Amino acid sequence: MLMQEIIKRWIDKIYPSEEAFFTALNSRKLTIYFGIDPTGSQLHLGHSTSLLLLRKLQEMGHRIIILIGDFTAQIGDPTEKSSTRQPLTRKQVKQNYKTYKEQIRKIFNPEFKFNSKWLEKMNFSDVIKLASHFTHGQMIKRNMFQERIEKNQEIYINEFLYPLMQGYDSVALDADAELGGRDQTFNMLVGRDLQKIYKNKEKFVITVPLLENPKTKKKLMSKSEGSFIALNDSSRDMYGKIMALADESIIPCFRYYTEVPSEEIVKMESSILTGLNPRDLKAKLACEIVRMYHDEKEADKAEKEFELMFKDKQVPSDIEEFKAVRESYSILDLLFESGLAASKAEAKRLVESGGVSVNNTKLNDWKAEVVIEDNLIIQVGKRRFIKVKK
pLDDT of residue 2: 66
Give span(s): CATH 3.10.290.10, the chain.
321-389
What is d(CA 241, CA 230) in angstroms, rounded to the nearest whole number?
Answer: 10
pLDDT of residue 226: 59
3-class SS of residue 69: coil
pLDDT of residue 334: 86
CATH 3.40.50.620, domain 2-208, yes or no:
yes
Q: What is the pLDDT of residues 141-200, one digit of tens each?
A: 887 788 888 888 888 888 889 999 999 999 999 999 999 999 899 999 999 999 999 999
**CATH assignment, 235-310:** 1.10.240.10
Q: What is the pLDDT of residues 23-77, one digit of tens each?
A: 999 999 999 999 999 988 899 999 999 999 999 999 999 999 999 999 999 887 7
pLDDT of residue 20: 94
| 380, containing H or E segment | strand 376-380
For the domain made up of 321-389, the CATH class stated in words is alpha beta
Give span(s): CATH 1.10.240.10, the chain.
235-310
Please state, in angstroms and as integers, the Cα–Cα distance from residue 296 to each residue in 48, 240, 282, 300, 303, following that order.
Answer: 19, 16, 17, 6, 11
Instruction: Specify the pTM.
Output: 0.79
Q: For the chain, which ranges sit under pLDDT 50?
A: none
pLDDT of residue 342: 75
Give span(s): CATH 3.40.50.620, the chain.
2-208
